[in-house]
Amino acid sequence: MVTYWPTLSTAQLTHTQFLSRIGNNIESNVSQNFWNALEVAQRVDESSMLETVQQLVAVLDAHNSLKTMIQYHAVTEATSMPTRLQRLSENLFHLLESSIRSSRVLHAKMNSVYEKYVDYLVTDVTSAMQRADILYAQVMATFVTNQTDSEQIRLLVTELESVANKLAHFDTHLNATAAYASNFFPKRLMVSTTCRDAKRQLNSSIVSRTDWLAGFPSTSKFDAETDLRMAFDLSSLLSRTTYCMQAYKVELDSFSKWLDSVLPPAFVSSSLSASWSDAVNMDGEKLLDLLQKFISGSLTKSELAKRYLTDVDKVMENNAKHLVSEVQHSVFNKISKNIAAFEQMMESCFRRLFSTYVRLQKYIANDDTGIEDSARQQLIWRKPVVDFHTSEVSSSVSIHR
């Protein structure tokens, strides 16, 4: 029996050929077996397995914490920051409203006293000054055209003398009437130095003008440059004194209109739509799915790493950044604007309220504390009192004087 061996060439027996075959064998088998061995080690080594799981759980927990925090503070209506701000603003505006209500009561008392005891005195004087001012202008016009009317001049002199008489007795009548109202009586209508000077100058101007007018009907005494200037000065003094007499009533009316105009500021919408959670929830579900598959053994460490890096990591990070940016823009930036608007409104209102109290008090006698007593009863001056015998803050309040 003849045996045939395959023919081998010298080239096939060289070391390079053997090395090439070994290299090909390593590439196709050894490396894969080594890689598989590493995967098995990762699965068998409890510490390596646990470390991987803990890292994934930490990422998942951080992701869930972000969702929970945003859900609580920006989405859920009952607990969101916009809702809490709205509740705070309602409570603070309730405080302001209580001050407005008490101020309306105060205004009603002050206005009642004025209308009952003062208004007719002021109207009597100011009406006479307004009639005198109109008549004086008409008489000056007749002087300019050389068409003077002695009867009209006589009426003007009478009206100016009436104004002087009313002004001279005004304070006496006002003080006598004050006995009928123990509180909120405006005893000092001519409160400013400017007003008192205007009244004094008006009295002296009336005296000089009535003496000057008594020399007519002769128009030879009329000097347009001098007398028209003096006519303007007298008219200005009549207007200024009238304004001073009516200033307290104007202040009261302005106070009433302002009290009726106080409204809470309009807040810009600062809520976040629930649709924000779709992409973020999907990211969390993908990560949880990877974690569960890895724990169950249906996903190797290398497959886990590949899918995490290519399908989860960057997408989750980008969606989280976008979400945080959206919450900052749509919720917290607008909340900051709303807080600033409400703060400005509250500060402006209380500044206006108490400055009005101060201005009104200038017209009232120093021993009349009606305005002060009303202001001290307002809630803004009250603060909680701590009871050191309990762990809670007492609901009682103290009023600071």
Mean pLDDT on 24-34? 51
Contact between 230 and 188 under an 8 Å Cβ cutoff? The reply is no
DSSP alpha helix (H) spans, 145-276:
150-177, 193-213, 224-261
Q: What is the 3-state composition of the chain as percent helix, strand, coil, each rounded to the nearest 5?
A: 80, 5, 20
Looking at residue 186, its pLDDT comes to 94
Query: Is 70 exceeded by the pLDDT of residue 372?
Result: yes
Average pLDDT, the chain: 81
Closest CA to 241 of 138, 173, 163, 169: 163
Which tens digit of pLDDT belongs to each residue from 98-107? Answer: 999 999 999 9
Looking at residue 258, its pLDDT comes to 96
Looking at residue 384, its pLDDT comes to 52
Quote the CA–CA distance of 56 and 285 in Å, as a whole number. 13
CA 265 to chain centre: 7
Q: Which domain, by its residues, includes 208?
A: 111-261
Looking at residue 347, its pLDDT comes to 92
Looking at residue 10, its pLDDT comes to 44
Mean pLDDT on 317-346? 88
CB contact burial 70-107 (16+ within 10 A = b; e otherwise):
bbebbbeeeebbbeebeeebeebbeebeebbeebeebb
* 3-class state of residue 10 by DSSP: coil
Residue 168: inside a domain, yes or no?
Answer: yes
Residue 364: inside a domain, yes or no?
Answer: no
Looking at residue 130, its pLDDT comes to 94
pLDDT more than 70, % of the chain: 81
Looking at residue 160, its pLDDT comes to 93
Closest CA to 131 of 106, 163, 85, 153: 163
Quote the CA–CA distance of 194 and 241 in Å, as a whole number. 10
Looking at residue 217, its pLDDT comes to 55
Which tens digit of pLDDT belongs to each residue from 179-198? Answer: 888 899 999 898 788 999 99
List the CATH number of the domain containing 165. 1.20.120
Residue 150: inside a domain, yes or no?
Answer: yes
Residue 181: inside a domain, yes or no?
Answer: yes
Distances in Å between the Cα of 69 and the Cα atoms of 66, 79, 316, 366 are: 5, 11, 17, 58
Greater confidence (19 vs 70) lies with 70
Contact between 394 and 384 under an 8 Å Cβ cutoff? The reply is yes
Number of domains, the chain = 1
* 3-class state of residue 398 by DSSP: strand
- The region that residue 9 occupies, defined by phi over 0 for left and psi between -120 and 50 for alpha, beta otherwise, is beta
Distances in Å between the Cα of 236 and the Cα atoms of 225, 229, 230, 241 are: 17, 11, 10, 9
| Of 1-15, 101-115, 324-338, highest mean pLDDT | 101-115
Which tens digit of pLDDT belongs to each residue from 210-269? Answer: 888 877 655 557 677 777 788 888 889 999 999 999 999 999 999 999 999 998 888 887
Find the distance separating the first CA and the last CA of the chain, reported in whole Å.
132
Which tens digit of pLDDT belongs to each residue from 383-398? Answer: 655 555 555 544 444 4
Query: Is 90 exceeded by the pLDDT of residue 363?
Result: yes
378: DSSP letter: S
Closest CA to 59 of 281, 276, 288: 288
| Of 23-32, 318-327, 374-383, highest mean pLDDT | 318-327
Residue 236: inside a domain, yes or no?
Answer: yes
Residue 245: inside a domain, yes or no?
Answer: yes
Quote the CA–CA distance of 230 and 225 in Å, as a whole number. 9
pLDDT more than 90, % of the chain: 33
Residue 320: inside a domain, yes or no?
Answer: no
Contact between 219 and 140 under an 8 Å Cβ cutoff? The reply is no
Contact between 63 and 284 under an 8 Å Cβ cutoff? The reply is yes
Weakest-pLDDT range from 11-20, 89-98, 345-354, 374-383: 11-20
Residue 207: inside a domain, yes or no?
Answer: yes
